[in-house]
Chains A and B, each alone.
Chain A
Amino acid sequence: MKLIKVDKKSLDQGIEKAKSAYRVFGPVKEKSDHDFKLLDKEQLPDLDFQNTRLSPKSVIYPQSQIMFQYSLDESKEDCRIMKEVENVTSPMAVIGVRPCDALSFPIVRRNFDTPEYQDTYWVKAYEATTFVGLACNSACGTCFCTSAGTGPFGEEGLDVLLIAEGNDFYVKPLTEKGESFVQAAGWAGEVESAAASKIEEMKTAAEASITATVDTDKLRDKTTLDLYDAPFWEEEAFSCINCGTCTYVCPTCWCFDVQDETCGKSGIRMRNWDSCMFPLFTHHASGHNPRDVKYQRVRQRFMHKLKYYVDKYDNGIQCVGCGRCIRLCPVNIDIRRICNKMNSFDAESCVCEATSS
């Protein structure tokens, strides 16, 4: 597909222009960190960041989302009948999605958009969104995207890829949606003939700068119960405090809880992100809890990402290597360490090869 080159000023002008047709989200620095926010008029995304603290998943899948409303007023005809809330589905665009986070959307889609059921809230928002990615020229020490199915210039899940080069940006539309956004932004500009090879060089350099890796090659062929019963879980889970940080900052964690809230005679049914780290997540009304103990919940998180998902979809791991859980885990539980332990676990001898991350 064609390649365009724009300077920073045209890039910004284009983003501003696109706002007439799209609700535009982008990274904004608030307090000390970047997070994705809906951009106001005249507000530009701050593209000078390594990665945002929270992932862009909340653009499609907000932490709290109203699903239905109802009335408890007996005098009304629709008393106690759930009614759908009209969620806005006008076009959205997310600017500055890193390639790792971009891959999370097709991964999460496998959960929300299934042959049997479509999660209307997620699917409608996803379909309405154009993902404008930003290639990574400098990775974090905790990044391991190259061994998690993508890379700093990865294109999967994106509609447009931006590549920063000095004060200029290469614009690479990747899909029809992406073409439309580029048109709406009015981005146009010839590229030099050597552009393609230059981008290739930048890509190679960026990939080489990512030194952290995980080994995932043997996960698929392991027996689920062998890994489940592996002896290392209790030790690895020792430091865990069972907070929800890893799951909430993870771009591929999708679990939620459904809650009703009533105020006077009217109320709403809503969903909120939930976490497999919380005991309440699996607590039966009878009091029984199949994952009652901390290490069982830690095991669930890693087994889900690195084994159950692998078995269910046969399409890589449920992790994109963004490293957020490593950077933000309060007690330094490192998915790279656990992943390598799982990958190298030998049920016969019950040992993992020495691992480092």
Chain B
Amino acid sequence: MKNLLEHTGIEPGRLHFSWISSAESTKFVDVVTKITDEVKTLDPANKKYVKTEPKVD
């Protein structure tokens, strides 16, 4: 999944996979914090795959 998204131009770093058990709440918090911090450092101009109001002719 990650490969094809990146292959079609989604910036690496915007899709993340982690294995977290339902018991690992602290790990969940750590991972989410880490990812959101990382994503914030990415260039907002590359925020491409976001749908806004439909753009049609």
Contact = CB atoms under 8 A, between A and B. Distances in A.
Contacts of A64: 54, 56-57
Contact of A62 (B51, B52, B53, B57): B57
Nearest to B51: A263
A66 B51 CA distance: 16
Contacts of B57: 58, 62-65
A352 to B, nearest CB: 43
B56 to A, nearest CB: 4
Interface string A256-285: 000001010011101000000000000000
B49 to A, nearest CB: 15
Interface of B: 51-54, 56-57
Contacts of B51: 263
Contacts of B56: 62-66, 270
Top 9 A-B pairs ranked by shortest CB distance? A64-B56, A62-B57, A263-B53, A261-B54, A263-B52, A268-B53, A270-B54, A268-B54, A66-B56
Interface residues of A, number: 12
Interface in A1-45: none
Interface in A45-59: 58
A355 B35 CA distance: 67
A115 to B, nearest CB: 30
Given A58-B57, A267-B53, A270-B56, 8 more contacts: A62-B56, A62-B57, A63-B56, A64-B54, A65-B56, A66-B54, A263-B53, A266-B53
A68 B45 CA distance: 30
B5 to A, nearest CB: 22
A65 B56 CA distance: 7
A285 B29 CA distance: 42
A267 B56 CA distance: 14
Contacts of A62: 56-57
Contacts of A63: 56-57
A116 B57 CA distance: 28
A23 B51 CA distance: 29
23 contacts: A58-B57, A62-B56, A62-B57, A63-B56, A63-B57, A64-B54, A64-B56, A64-B57, A65-B56, A65-B57, A66-B54, A66-B56, A261-B53, A261-B54, A263-B51, A263-B52, A263-B53, A266-B53, A267-B53, A268-B53, A268-B54, A270-B54, A270-B56
